[in-house]
Amino acid sequence: MGIEIERKFLIIGDAWRTAVTRSIRMAQAYLGGDRCSTRVRIEGESAKLNIKSLSTGIERLEFEYDIPVADANVLMAELAGKRVEKIRHLVALDDVLFEIDEFLSDNQGLIVAEVELESAEAAYPKPAWLGREVSLERRYLNLALAEQAFAMWPDREAILMELQSC
């Protein structure tokens, strides 16, 4: 159990790719929940069950447990909603880890960075490729992207322009 303090940003251009140290393919889907989101995720060769409080803010209560990949496959196929697929790229800058999610499938084109912080006010590096903060926009939650994919956003074209603007 922990408190997750996370800020989320759009990513501009491709310059960040040279700084990537590791990339992991991920597929995830949600089981629903009244006051929390329950997520099943396959990441590389392992799988996890994750429970997070439902709030769009920067701080969220979080629980995570390893589960067998075989279980994750059945949970996703039989009991979960739509899948979100992405490649998570890791970029470390000044001891701060950026998790850059390059979405695939129905969310292709969308690239966002998440940075986990000690406190909501903690300083973090601001490389040129770090774009607008979207921490408080619900539609950027992976849970929301499972329900309403980027392909269906009315302002998708404008956002794609913004992502290529450097």
CA distances from 116 to 7, 59, 100, 156 (A): 7, 10, 12, 26
Q: To 5 degrees, how large is the angle CA 146–CA 88–CA 27?
A: 40
Distance CA 91, CA 97 (A): 6
* Residue 124 annotated to the active site: no
Among 15, 79, 97, 152, binds a second copy (CB under 8 A): 79
Among 65, 95, 118, 155, binds a second copy (CB under 8 A): 65
Q: Which range of residues in 72-80, 96-104, 121-129, 155-163 is near a second copy by CB under 8 A?
A: 72-80
> Where in 36-55 is the site for a second copy (CB under 8 A)?
36, 38, 49, 51, 53
Residue 71, token pair as written in the block: 């279980």
Which runs of consecutive H residues, i.e. helices, occur in the chain? 69-74, 142-147, 156-163
Closest CA to 86 of 71, 65, 100: 100
Q: Which range of residues in 7-15, 64-72, 115-123, 156-164 is near a second copy by CB under 8 A?
A: 64-72
Q: Is 58 in the site for a second copy (CB under 8 A)?
A: no
Q: Which range of residues in 60-68, 105-113, 117-125, 127-135 is near a second copy by CB under 8 A?
A: 60-68
Tokens 């880890």, residue located: 97
Catalytic residues: 30
Site residues (vs a second copy, CB under 8 A): 1, 31-36, 38, 49, 51, 53, 61, 63, 65, 67-68, 70-71, 74-75, 78-81
